Amino acid sequence: MGKLLKGLVGIVAVLVVLVVAAGVALGLLVDPNDYKQEIQQAARDQAGVELEILGDIGWSVFPRLGLSVSDIKAGFAERDTLAQLASANVAVQLQPLLSGKVQMSAVSIDGLQLYLNRDKAGQVNWQGKNLPAQAKTPETEKTPKTESAEPQTAALPAEIDIESVTVSNGVVVYQDAQSGQRFEAKQINLTTGRIQNNQFIPVTLAMQVAQQGAEQPLNIGLETQGELRFDLAAQSYQLRGFNAVTELSGAQNLTAETAFDLSADMAKGTVSVNPLKLSVGDLNVTGQVAVTDLEKMALTGELAVAPFALNPLLKSLGQAEFETAGDVLQKISLSTRLEGDAARINAKDLKIVVDNTTLKGTAGFATESGRIFADLKGDAINLTDYLPPQAANGSPADAQANSQQKSGERYSKAEVIPLAPLQALNMDVQLKFAKVQHDKLQLSNVDVAIDAANGLVKAPRINAAVFGGQVSNRITLDARKKPLTIHSVKSVKGLDLEQMLTTLTGDAPITGTLETRSDVRMSGQSVHSFVNTLNGTANVALSNGVVKGIDMAQQMCQTMNNLTALGSLQAAEQVDQSTPFAKMGGQFNIRNGVVSNKDLKVSLDAIEATGRGSVNLPSALIDYRLGLLIQENLFKKSCSVNNKIQGIEWPVDCKGAFDTPPAQLCKPDLSVIKDIVRNSVKEKAEDKLKEKLEEKLKDNEKVKGLLKGLFK
């Protein structure tokens, strides 16, 4: 930009040289056209600019000092043409000029064309080849710095009075061969009314802007009007009733309207825009902004967005509309108070309304790093309404199952968490909701915190109250390099299992209070990689519950008595069809997707169950052994248990693949049962033999004593 300004300054210098030279010629009462060569040489010597004066130079002396030029080209040596001018006319009253007043008749500039080019080698045409990129002025380097700089107003004229200024048929073209982009502003037309110091001046400006080389070519039509007032001595400026209408055409036609009043005091370093109005399609924004320190860009203000529907706005912008399960995104509004400086802009007292949901809090944006800050609290939201229709009607598990069925894989290797979006996140956000509903799931006191930067995404809190309990999560995703790593710490306290199962499935075959805690890590970007790299620990405990639909103690009791009695089943009193339990749970270790456990304990009515084994998630295999131990009644007697089988562990082995039918997956260990039956048969045979011998030898006390010792 510095080089561009320098080139434009060079052009201005050429015009100054031209005016001075013409003035000298006028003073000598000669035809300035005779001095074209001298003027062109002066431009070359003073600014390094190649100047071509193809048209005539006209002049007048009295009562106005006037100058007119036509058909001029300018540019640096061995560069493309930088500027062209069709014609220009200016005239200054001589008598007021002698007293320090500038009175001019209408100023007209027609056909001013600027061509700014950058070639494939990066060379630009607004800088000469022999000029250094950063030229330093010796006088500037030697000028000592002063503690305070007074406004440079002494050289300004006391009064300015210009009848009008007209710029017509202007063109500005920027072409970059490196990027292939081209910007063109054409049909630039500027018209002013009478220009006087500290008086409002009517101004109108119109132009057509075209962009080419981008993904979507864009054409913009701009029309502005308003009134400008300035006080050069006080360095104050004011725009009143400024209106701009912008017509965008391309992939989608769009009209944007802007209206504002502006006042600026450059001496004090303040700028105020009040009121401010902006409308784009159905989006209407109002507000005010005040910059209280231009050097630090300290600002304050207010901003409000009137209620609008999102999808009609997106359609008018040529963007894809959101498909949602519910009729939502129909009423969105925003209001806030702005504070900030060049480093950060903050939105205080922020209020966002989305349909029936209201969020309040603060937000901010760091201009240099692009980091987003937010601390918002919402009342209630139904997430199901905002999901796509398919996502709302089907479960993720169903979608995953369908994907696996099509691919023939148990666990999909398709990427489900891309790295790029995670690496792009740069935010510190805290979000709380009093109530959140998703399908049948109702959460309360939802508290989510996310801190993301440079590919490291931390969620120190993902907490909610649900089903009478509290769920707490802490998750870290490290996407700084491949593979993606995920660390999750989760705890569940006091969750009512019956309420959860009834809500989600409509039935609760098991009840109780659930407590869990897990600490797991995994890596990758697909379900397959997550399963195969899963490592960590988990602790599960379910207490004070009931298994409905079956009295496990009674069933076990009758089965065992049937086996031990060799067919003589004892009658049992029928009780309620449920199995209460005091507690069940255990510690689980996870290594590369294999979940192992050695201490599963289940305390049922009249049964103590233990378990040990493993579940291989990558191979989808289970190898688990349950031990059922008949013991004294814990809650109530389910049936009369043969005291000879109390204290004996009845094993059940569960081995096979996940898709093995349950009846084939889990079977009792028959070898142990055979031993129990064999011992029972032996005992019964001994008892019968003993009874017969005692009957025959009932009168022989000595022999009876020997038999007692034998059948002990």
Choose the most confident range, by mean pLDDT, from 289-293, 388-392, 578-582: 289-293
Residue 83 lies in a domain: yes
Reference 264, options 241, 237, 242; nearest CA is 237
Q: Give the pLDDT score at 134.
A: 42
Give 33-51 pLDDT, tens digit per residue. Answer: 888 888 888 888 888 888 8
Indicate if the pLDDT at residue 144 is higher than 60. Answer: no
DSSP designation for 510? B
Q: Give the pLDDT score at 689.
A: 63
E strands of 193-282, at which residues? 195-196, 201-212, 218-231, 236-249, 254-265, 270-280
Residue 435 lies in a domain: no
Residue 348 lies in a domain: no
What are the beta bridge partners of residue 196? 161
Q: Give the pLDDT score at 424.
A: 95
* Better-scored residue on pLDDT, 211 or 336: 336
Indicate if the pLDDT at residue 558 is higher than 70. Answer: no
> How many domains are contained in the chain?
2
Residue 209 lies in a domain: no
Q: Mean per-residue pLDDT for 684-691?
A: 64
Indicate if the pLDDT at residue 83 is higher than 90. Answer: yes
Indicate if the pLDDT at residue 572 is higher than 60. Answer: no
> Residue 340 — left, alpha, or beta (φ > 0 → left; ψ -120 to 50 → alpha)?
left
Give 346-401 pLDDT, tens digit per residue. Answer: 999 999 999 999 999 999 999 999 999 999 999 999 999 999 987 655 554 455 55
Q: Give the pLDDT score at 566.
A: 47
What are the beta bridge partners of residue 72? 53, 85
Percent of the chain whose pLDDT exceeds 70? 75
What radius of gyration do the chain's Cα atoms show? 44
Describe the crossing of helices 36-47 and 2-27 by its angle, rounded to 10 degrees: 150
Compute the distance between CA of residue 602 and CA of residue 556 in angstroms, rounded to an integer: 15
* Better-scored residue on pLDDT, 210 or 21: 210
Compute the distance between CA of residue 364 and CA of residue 374 in angstroms, rounded to an integer: 6
Q: Give the pLDDT score at 607.
A: 75
CB 26 within 8 A of CB 53: no
Stretch among 160-164, 253-257, 453-457, 571-575 having the lowest mean pLDDT: 571-575
DSSP designation for 441? E
Indicate if the pLDDT at residue 8 is higher than 60. Answer: no
Q: Mean per-residue pLDDT for 676-681?
A: 64
Stretch among 123-127, 194-198, 623-627, 691-695 having the lowest mean pLDDT: 691-695
Torsion sign (Cα): 375, 379, 384, 386 = negative
What are the beta bridge partners of residue 415? none
Indicate if the pLDDT at residue 296 is higher than 70. Answer: yes
Cα 415-418-424 angle, rounded to 5 deg? 180
Reference 15, options 88, 77, 64; nearest CA is 88
Q: Mean per-residue pLDDT for 94-118?
A: 86
Compute the distance between CA of residue 19 and CA of residue 67 in angstroms, rounded to an integer: 8
Stretch among 21-25, 261-265, 428-432 having the lowest mean pLDDT: 21-25
E strands of 54-147, at which residues? 58-60, 64-76, 83-93, 101-104, 107-110, 113-118
DSSP track, 473-509:
EEEEEE-SSSSPEEEEEEEEEEEEHHHHHHHHHS--S
Residue 644 lies in a domain: yes
Task: Name the band, by pLDDT with cuts 50, 70 and 90, for residue 135.
Answer: very low
Tokens in use for 359?
């969020």
Q: pTM to 2 decimals?
A: 0.76
Stretch among 50-54, 376-380, 549-553 having the lowest mean pLDDT: 549-553
CB 468 within 8 A of CB 441: no
Q: Give the pLDDT score at 225.
A: 96
User: If you average pLDDT over every residue of the chain, what do you get?
Assistant: 82
Residue 696 lies in a domain: no
What are the start-end ranges of the H helices in 252-300?
none
E strands of 77-164, at which residues? 83-93, 101-104, 107-110, 113-118, 159-162
Stretch among 97-101, 155-159, 273-277 having the lowest mean pLDDT: 155-159
Q: Mean per-residue pLDDT for 603-628?
A: 88
Indicate if the pLDDT at residue 336 is higher than 90. Answer: yes
Cα 13-14-15 angle, rounded to 5 deg? 90
Domain extent, residue 626, equals: 486-683
Q: Is 320 exposed, middle or buried (0-12, 13-18, 19+ CB in 10 A)?
A: exposed
Q: Mean per-residue pLDDT for 250-277?
A: 92
Q: Mean per-residue pLDDT for 64-76?
A: 88
Task: Name the band, by pLDDT with cuts 50, 70 and 90, for residue 682.
Answer: low
Task: Name the band, by pLDDT with cuts 50, 70 and 90, for residue 631.
Answer: low
Q: Give the pLDDT score at 77.
A: 83
Indicate if the pLDDT at residue 650 is higher than 60. Answer: yes
Compute the distance between CA of residue 499 and CA of residue 442 in angstroms, rounded to an integer: 11
Q: Mean per-residue pLDDT for 141-159?
A: 49
Task: Name the band, by pLDDT with cuts 50, 70 and 90, for residue 133.
Answer: very low
* Better-scored residue on pLDDT, 426 or 700: 426
Q: Give the pLDDT score at 151.
A: 47
Torsion sign (Cα): 637, 641, 647, 649 = negative
CB 444 within 8 A of CB 435: yes
Strands 283-293 and 49-53: unpaired
Task: Name the band, by pLDDT with cuts 50, 70 and 90, for residue 62.
Answer: low
Compute the distance between CA of residue 154 and CA of residue 548 in angstroms, rounded to an integer: 97
Residue 205 lies in a domain: no
Q: Give the pLDDT score at 555.
A: 61
Residue 645 lies in a domain: yes
Q: Mean per-residue pLDDT for 515-530?
A: 96
